Amino acid sequence: MVRKEGVAHIPRPAAEQGMARLMMRLPATRATIRATAVSRPHLYELCEAYGEACAALDRMRKDVSADPAIITEYEIICAEIEIDVIRILFDE
């Protein structure tokens, strides 16, 4: 996706849901997440990916026939996205 300099990024609903989930998961960073997303629009893409991964994980956890290995894989994906967001927030 190509973004033009100076054009405001309009977050999609999935990105907003992902951001809300991240804010619940990382409460100490709530204000920082929203403020950083304004100046670093790629954070919205991570939020969107996080929201989608969490939603898939929620569905699999409710499905008794879900493969435990896939559930573990999605748990790892969610944790890795959380780490990526923290790195972006604190420029590590």
Residue 88 and residue 40 in contact, taking contact as beta carbons nearer than 8 Å: yes
Q: Two tokens at 83? A: 């780490």
pLDDT in tens, 13-38: 888 899 999 999 999 999 899 888 88
Domain extent for 69: 12-90
Asked if residue 7 is part of any domain, the answer here is no
- DSSP H helix total and E strand total for the chain: 4, 0
Asked if residue 5 is part of any domain, the answer here is no
pTM of model > 0.85? no
Ranges 5-9, 74-78, 82-86: which has the least confidence: 5-9
Number of C-beta neighbours around residue 28 at 10 A: 6
Task: Please give the single-letter amino acid code of residue 75.
Answer: E
Residue 85 and residue 26 in contact, taking contact as beta carbons nearer than 8 Å: yes
Domain total in the chain? 1
Asked if residue 2 is part of any domain, the answer here is no
